[in-house]
């Protein structure tokens, strides 16, 4: 493991953990060089150096290899003015796609592109157009690696801690420090010495020149130790060699830069420099030590010892840890530089090695491998995942073969299946996978909605394969799969389609895909199994919080709730055989010709199976009548929200919960569930039935705009004949309403799909909810009265409330809220920000919406069934709303008329103190002698018809002269408007305001149950119409409703320039964006690389103007829209860039 206190200079790890003590060093360094430089000498040197140092603003647009998608600041300096070459660190240049600009001292900014990043050492080069710098006189900084010596006084000039120019003094203390180890699963330098000085560099200083008093760069700043002031510098010998190759290669071009090949050789072996005392303990013979000391330069104190060997490399099974290197090609080698020079000059050639192993001399002949051949320069992007061949860097970290199929980011499809970052894919859809091309071939044969097994291994549990079930995206959550290939001539990664146009993977989802999806073997409880290997929970973590523009790393971490899978990824057991709709059994997961073993379709067999399942349902000897009756109607939900469309402030990607079937026929099934399980319509829903072991997809068909419930449809044919006969709908009992003291049965499902019940007593049948707004506005139940019980099963158990006959009187649903947690700390005692996860259309880029000091909580209460029953009746009988395709049949869906006002009850005793007359008090008591309350206005939703008519604090006394005392009274009045032929949609309200009775005509609003059905991704931010939770704050910009920024993506232009969420975009380049249509019209006119002026207004009303640079190459503008005619989400490119014209 790496030292937790050692960090990359611009991308450090903030850790308070204890650090390992450096090995004691008794070596005799060369004598200190006397420093004769004066203050004037340093002034002259710095006047020459500072103009040649640039601030680099880099954005890694995709996660790749060792680096995550991120935006950061770093430093670089000019090493070739004529060719425009800038030297900086490898972890700044990035191994993957990167967009960068260099800012010079006089604030001139020019774009730069990478021309080389070393596969091993921490240096790389950017290039810019020298002609673009018009107003600054500067000179290149010469490289002088030979000038470095112990005691040399140095200055580190760079962008330290975000400062544009910072000059730190120090003295070189060591030239032979081991290369720092930063992370066990990230970039680490090796096979080189580092220099060490006490200069105290911090984030942003990566790539800074370490100069002497003559203005020469003697080293390159790379990292530091956070627990001390120590800084680590990279020697420049290899940098000088690489620069010469670039300069020599550039002589061959005239107008356009061409890629230059820099020979690099490797044995895939890591060496460490050990002192002679250590090598003697390893078995080095005295005569060998004498030879080595005699042949080495004066002052040599040790030799190179093998530390690790990468499996499958040239040194594998030839060299072992502890081997002491003596000679290479007959020459004594004790220094990294001499060894690397020899390897670089011997690419694809054999070399002779003499080693000593335990006192025995051995001679070996090894082939030097091309280091670039095991450094990936392409990747596959599929469903947000970034997959590429395993690099030498990570193969060394994990001890795997280079070239294996490596998951740099799991994206949505793989994350949904439980595949973590850093996984190695070994088998997919029944076929062994050894390279990326084989994975692409298998993917190309899959159709949307297909479910196939995947086996992977991870470096944390390398000896066991884990098996998961991957569901291919049915909706167009992401762009079609693409292969990105690096082009060192332009510095871009060029995308091309991964599959042929006739690939089933590219076909749009259909009802047939849903049928295929339901016919694959599925999991219900326990663990997935495959080949005897058990799938365990993976502890993949997803992060979602705002970071600064300084470079820092954030390890993704999974965030789940209630229902949010708080115990991690759900464990399931694969059912051995699953009945499909036609009675066949799917026995394995082949791609095209799925082998099906036909069952005998005799009525005897089916009757026996039916009896078995019916007997299993009622097997519990102590089960109550209510439990036995209701169990066949219960359904376990597993819901995944694609990070590309985490709309409406939804706070997690993964939810669980229990629903109840409220309608079941041959052509449609409907399940009711709370909205803390199905929060938005842009979701993938999987249903597991308690009555029959099958898992099938569901589709969101109705989200009530006020009440905390959603309706999900499923295809009964997917259950098969046996499943369809045992699954049934519950009997609903909307009347009579529950009263205090009534006995009910609380029935629900455990995670293992076992029914659980208990008898409880209603303590409060009409408890008014009062849920505050979350830090990031999201759905919260308002204007609802819920049922409270004396006992339940805890805050994560959901289900139904029934009478003794099993008739459903209420849904026992989950509600989400936030609680302030000001003292929340981490294990290290440091304050921790509340973070939630999300992602992007690119790799598993993380979307962010803000930071929070609050903690998500959930509680459960009873939701009266009457509201659900009313909507169900409209769906079954035929509503008057817009049609929606459900299981191939278009059905009109109901519209809901609501008064968009948030209300809360006040006791009449309090109302009397505000001046309410005795007559009204008596009238309200007569109307409802139990509640004895009056409804007051908390606020109106911005943009509603009630806005500017009702005021905060108004008491609603009557509607159409009839007293109202509860929320249901207002709902009934709104429904009465729909039944009346002659109405203008207005309610005649009698209110009490500041001591006066006022009569008002207040308009109502009609809402559908579709939820947000349209979103746009522009420059990496996801924008949508302001959803009700935002409008409930009571504010919309004066410039118009605008478009609301719901999320943003790591590595995107909005990440780079700071256009974060929780604000409206009201203008672009001075043109108003009042709604999504006008936003599309404006953004379509913007060109690639154009700087755009954006005016925003935050939720707190604060306006802001910022600029950002549009990047259509990596971040095209696209729209995601739900089509009710096909019941599909479609992705449409609004404006992109043809890579061939770049």
* Residues labelled catalytic: 533, 798
User: Cα(445)–Cα(329) distance, rounded to whole angstroms?
Assistant: 51
Partners of residue 78 on adjacent β-strands? 86
Contacts of 1035 (CB under 8 A, 6+ apart): 942, 1099, 1101
Provide the 3-class DSSP secondary structure of residue 373.
helix
Provide the pairing of β-strand 585-586 with 533-534. unpaired
Provide the 3-class DSSP secondary structure of residue 776.
coil
Chain centre distance of CA 542: 6
What tokens appear for 162 in the block? Answer: 């975000």
User: Cα(181)–Cα(396) distance, rounded to whole angstroms?
Assistant: 13
User: Cα(272)–Cα(350) distance, rounded to whole angstroms?
Assistant: 22
Angle formed at CA 254 by CA 252 and CA 255, multiple of 5 degrees: 135
Contact 386, 399 (CB under 8 A): no
Residue of 58, 46, 14, 13 whose CA lies nearest to 166: 46
Lookup result for tokens 């009204």: 920
Angular region, 944: left φ>0, alpha ψ -120 to 50, beta rest? beta
User: Cα(725)–Cα(704) distance, rounded to whole angstroms?
Assistant: 30
Measured CA to CA in angstroms, residue 66 lies from 60, 187, 497 at distances of 11, 5, 25
What tokens appear for 953 in the block? Answer: 């604090």
- What b/e string do you get for 832-847 counting C-beta neighbours within 10 Å, with b at 16 or more? eebbbbbbbbbbbbbb
Partners of residue 86 on adjacent β-strands? 78, 126
Burial class of residue 330, CB neighbours in 10 A (0-12, 13-18, 19+)? exposed
Lookup result for tokens 């006022």: 998
- What b/e string do you get for 528-538 counting C-beta neighbours within 10 Å, with b at 16 or more? bebeeeebeeb
Contact 300, 291 (CB under 8 A): no
Contact 410, 540 (CB under 8 A): yes
User: Cα(306)–Cα(822) distance, rounded to whole angstroms?
Assistant: 51
Q: What number of CA atoms fall less than 13 Å from residue 940's CA on the CB side? A: 18
Count the Cβ atoms, other than its own, within 10 Å of residue 637. 25
What tokens appear for 1000 in the block? Answer: 């008002």
Measured CA to CA in angstroms, residue 956 lies from 192, 917, 970 at distances of 78, 14, 10
Measured CA to CA in angstroms, residue 384 lies from 435, 436, 569, 842 at distances of 19, 16, 19, 5
User: Cα(381)–Cα(275) distance, rounded to whole angstroms?
Assistant: 47
């Amino acid at each position: 493991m790496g030292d937790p206190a050692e960090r990359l200079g611009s991308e450090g790890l903030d850790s308070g953990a204890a650090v390992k003590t450096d090995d004691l060093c008794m070596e005799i360094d060369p004598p200190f060089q006397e420093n004769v430089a004066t203050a004037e000498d340093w002034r002259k040197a710095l006047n020459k150096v500072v103009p040649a140092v640039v601030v680099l603003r880099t954005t890694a647009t995709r996660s790749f290899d060792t680096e995550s998608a991120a935006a950061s600041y770093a430093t670089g300096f000019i090493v070739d003015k004529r060719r425009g070459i800038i030297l900086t660190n490898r972890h700044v240049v990035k191994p993957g796609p990167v967009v960068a600009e260099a800012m010079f001292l006089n604030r001139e900014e020019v774009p730069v592109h990478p021309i080389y990043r070393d596969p091993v050492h921490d240096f790389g080069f950017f290039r810019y157009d020298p002609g673009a710098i018009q107003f600054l006189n500067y000179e290149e900084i010469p490289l002088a690696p030979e000038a470095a010596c112990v005691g040399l006084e140095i200055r580190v000039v760079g962008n330290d801690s975000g400062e544009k120019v910072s000059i730190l003094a120090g003295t070189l203390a060591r030239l032979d420090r081991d290369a720092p180890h930063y992370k066990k699963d990230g970039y680490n330098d090796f096979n080189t010495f580092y220099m060490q000085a006490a200069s105290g560099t911090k984030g942003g200083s990566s790539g800074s020149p370490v100069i002497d008093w003559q203005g020469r760069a003697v080293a390159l700043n790379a990292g530091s130790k956070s627990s001390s002031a120590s800084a680590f510098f990279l020697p420049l010998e290899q940098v000088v060699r690489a620069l010469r190759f670039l300069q020599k290669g550039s002589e061959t071009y005239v107008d356009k830069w061409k890629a230059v090949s820099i020979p690099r050789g490797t044995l895939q072996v890591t060496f460490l420099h050990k002192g002679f005392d250590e090598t003697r303990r390893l078995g080095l013979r005295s005569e060998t030590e004498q030879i080595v000391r005699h042949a080495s330069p004066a002052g040599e104190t040790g030799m190179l010892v093998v530390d690790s060997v990468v499996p499958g490399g040239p040194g594998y099974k030839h060299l072992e840890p502890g081997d002491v290197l003596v000679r290479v090609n007959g020459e004594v080698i004790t220094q990294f530089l001499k060894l690397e020079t020899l390897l670089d000059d011997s690419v694809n050639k054999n070399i002779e090695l003499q080693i000593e192993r335990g006192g025995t001399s051995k001679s070996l002949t090894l082939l030097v491998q091309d280091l670039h051949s095991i450094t990936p320069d392409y990747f596959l992007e599929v469903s947000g995942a970034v997959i590429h061949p395993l690099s030498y860097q990570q193969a060394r970290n994990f001890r795997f073969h280079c070239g294996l199929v490596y998951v740099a980011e799991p994206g949505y499809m793989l994350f949904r299946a439980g595949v973590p970052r850093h996984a190695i894919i070994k088998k997919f859809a029944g076929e062994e996978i050894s390279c990326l091309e084989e994975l692409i071939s298998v993917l190309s044969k899959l159709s949307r909605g297909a479910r196939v097994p995947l086996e992977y291994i991870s470096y944390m549990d390398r000896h066991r394969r884990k098996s998961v079930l991957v569901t291919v995206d049915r909706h167009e959550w992401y762009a079609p799969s693409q292969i990105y290939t690096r082009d060192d001539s332009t510095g871009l990664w060029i995308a091309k389609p991964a599959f042929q146009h006739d690939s089933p993977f590219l076909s749009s989802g259909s009802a047939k895909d849903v049928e295929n999806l339901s016919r694959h073997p599925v999991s219900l409880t326990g663990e997935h199994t495959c080949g005897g290997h058990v799938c365990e929970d993976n502890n993949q973590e997803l992060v979602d919080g705002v970071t600064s523009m300084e470079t820092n790393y954030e390890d993704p971490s999974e965030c789940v709730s209630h229902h949010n899978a708080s115990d991690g990824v759900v464990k399931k057991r694969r059912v051995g055989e699953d009945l499909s709709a036609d009675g066949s059994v799917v026995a394995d997961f082949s791609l095209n010709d799925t082998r099906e073993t036909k069952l005998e379709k005799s009525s005897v067999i089916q009757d026996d199976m039916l009896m078995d399942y019916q007997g299993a349902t009622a097997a519990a000897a102590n089960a109550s009548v209510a439990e036995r009756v209701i169990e066949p109607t219960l359904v376990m939900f597993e819901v995944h929200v694609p990070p590309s469309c985490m709309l409406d402030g939804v706070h997690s990607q993964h939810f669980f919960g229990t629903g109840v079937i409220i309608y079941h026929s041959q052509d449609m099934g409907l399940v009711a569930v709370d909205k803390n399980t199905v929060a938005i319509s842009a979701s993938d829903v999987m249903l597991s039935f308690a009555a029959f072991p099958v898992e099938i997809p569901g589709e969101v068909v109705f989200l009530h705009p006020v009440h905390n419930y959603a309706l999900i449809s499923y295809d009964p044919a997917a259950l098969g004949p046996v499943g369809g006969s045992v699954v049934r709908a519950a009997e609903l009992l909307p009347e009579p309403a529950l009263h205090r003291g009534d006995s009910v049965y609380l029935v629900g499902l455990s995670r293992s799909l076992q029914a659980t019940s208990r008898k409880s007593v209603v303590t409060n049948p009409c408890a008014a909810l009062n849920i505050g707004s979350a830090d990031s506005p999201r759905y919260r139940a308002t204007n609802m009265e819920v049922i409270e019980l004396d006992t339940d099963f805890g805050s994560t158990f959901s289900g139904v409330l029934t009478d003794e006959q099993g008739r459903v009187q209420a849904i026992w649903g989950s509600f989400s809220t936030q609680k302030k947690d000001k003292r929340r700390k981490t294990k290290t005692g440091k304050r921790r920000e509340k973070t939630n996860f999300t992602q992007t259309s690119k790799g598993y880029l993380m979307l962010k919406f803000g930071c929070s000091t609050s903690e998500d909580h959930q509680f459960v209460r009873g939701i009266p069934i009457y509201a659900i029953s009313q909507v169900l009746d409209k769906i079954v009988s035929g509503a008057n709303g817009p049609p929606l395709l459900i299981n191939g049949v278009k059905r009109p869906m109901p519209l809901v008329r609501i008064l968009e006002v948030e209300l809360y009850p006040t006791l009449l005793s309090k109302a009397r103190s505000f001046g309410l007359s005795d007559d009204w008090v008596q009238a309200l008591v007569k109307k409802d002698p139990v509640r004895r309350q009056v409804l007051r206005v908390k606020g109106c939703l911005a943009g509603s018809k009630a806005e500017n008519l009702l005021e905060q604090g108004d008491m609603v006394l009557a509607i159409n002269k009839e007293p109202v005392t509860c929320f249901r009274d207002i709902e009934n009045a709104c429904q009465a408007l729909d039944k009346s032929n002659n109405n203008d949609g207005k309610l005649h309200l009698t209110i009490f305001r500041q001591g006066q009775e006022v009569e008002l005509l207040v308009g109502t609003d009609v809402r559908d149950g579709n939820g947000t059905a349209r979103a746009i991704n522009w420059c990496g931010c996801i924008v949508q119409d302001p959803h009700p939770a935002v409008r409930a704050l009571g504010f919309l910009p004066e410039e118009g409703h605008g478009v609301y920024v719901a999320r943003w993506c790591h590595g995107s232009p909005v990440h780079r320039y700071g256009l974060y969420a929780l604000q409206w975009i009201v203008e672009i380049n001075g043109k108003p964006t009042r709604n999504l249509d006008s936003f599309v019209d404006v953004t379509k006119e913007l060109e690639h690389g154009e700087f755009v002026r954006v005016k925003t207004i935050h939720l707190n009303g604060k306006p802001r103007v910022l600029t950002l640079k549009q990047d259509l190459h990596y971040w095209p503008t696209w729209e995601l829209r739900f089509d009710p005619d096909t019941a599909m989400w479609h992705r449409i490119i609004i404006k992109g860039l043809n890579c061939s014209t770049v």
